[in-house]
Amino acid sequence: MTNPMQDKKRPFQGHQAEHFLFETDADGRVATVTLNRPEKKNPLTFESYEELTDLFRALGRASDVRAVVLTGAENNFSSGGDVFDIIEPLTKMSMPDLIDFTRMTGDLVRQIRACPQPVIAAVDGICAGAGAILAMSSDYRVATPEAKTAFLFNRVGLAGADMGACGILPRIIGQGRAAELLFTGRVMTASEGHAWGFYNALHERPALLGAAQKFARDIADGPWFAHTMTKKMLDQEWAMGIDQLIESEAQAQAICMATGDFRRAFEAFAAKSRPEFKGN
């Protein structure tokens, strides 16, 4: 008998992207998304915003991908929205079109946060504007010492309140530091980002992508279903009080205890062997 919910899932190994690079490792468990317009430091366009949003939304039905690495080509992460492909057209739009655009960009953040796979940002060089937002939205961030991260919205006369920055960034680095970056638009150096908790680790340029993919692989080979639950709790508990979040975690952990992974882990421990996590 087939499982209707499993039948709705599909593999992403071999998926072809149009506006960025997408590849997986041999078994499909780790996907690497590479922003790939290196001649302009990998800026985003209307089309890449939309395709990235669709991808992260669709990954909720992936049968293979368990972790995602997000990076940029040729020693830069992303310079943000393309000046001539995005910013110039925005200066000529009416308010209804502008709100459609800002909701579209915000939806990308929402889908990165909502997809069950942990997202690991591997940041090198320029990481600015919307590029900084992509890094901010990821679950884990590593960088090179050359990484330069800046929330540049005030440089073009806009608020720092863009794509969730005023809500998410203070939770990562603290209110005062976030206020400084959002009011000034100044560069946060890699060493500052590491000291402040924005970056989990710094790696030399040749080792960056490998380190991010190794971390992703460790996640992918671990208790897959439990990791999706951890990500969900990390996201939704921001809006909860203590009583609500404790109850939410009680329910989440009981669900994990009901999976075969929990039983298999116990049996492996008792047998002094390595558990096999199957995500069910």
pLDDT of residue 1: 63
pTM above 0.85, yes or no: yes
Distance separating alpha carbons of residues 137 and 160, to the nearest angstrom? 15
Question: Phi first, then psi: what are they for 201, rounded to 5°?
Answer: -160, 155
Distance separating alpha carbons of residues 141 and 124, to the nearest angstrom? 11
pLDDT of residue 158: 86
pLDDT of residue 3: 81
CA distances from 280 to 56, 126, 256 (A): 22, 40, 9
Distance separating alpha carbons of residues 169 and 183, to the nearest angstrom? 13
pLDDT of residue 84: 84
Give average pLDDT by consecutive 10-residue segment, the chain, 280 residues.
80 96 97 97 96 98 97 97 86 90 94 97 97 98 98 88 94 97 97 98 98 97 94 91 89 88 87 87
Q: Do β-strands 140-143 and 21-24 pair in parallel, antiparallel, or remain unpaired?
A: unpaired
pLDDT of residue 266: 85
The residues near 203 (Cβ < 8 Å, ≥ 6 apart) are 142, 143, 144, 211
CA distances from 1 to 6, 166, 278, 280 (A): 11, 49, 20, 17
CA 30-59-107 angle, 5° bins: 120
Return the exposure string of 119-147: e unless at least 16 CB atoms fall within 10 Å of the residue's CB, then b. bbbbbbbbbbbbbbbbbbbbbbbbbbebb
Distance separating alpha carbons of residues 194 and 229, to the nearest angstrom? 26
For residue 233, give the 3-state DSSP assignment: helix
pLDDT of residue 280: 79
The tokens for 57 are 């939304």
pLDDT of residue 279: 81
Distance separating alpha carbons of residues 15 and 122, to the nearest angstrom? 21
pLDDT of residue 76: 98
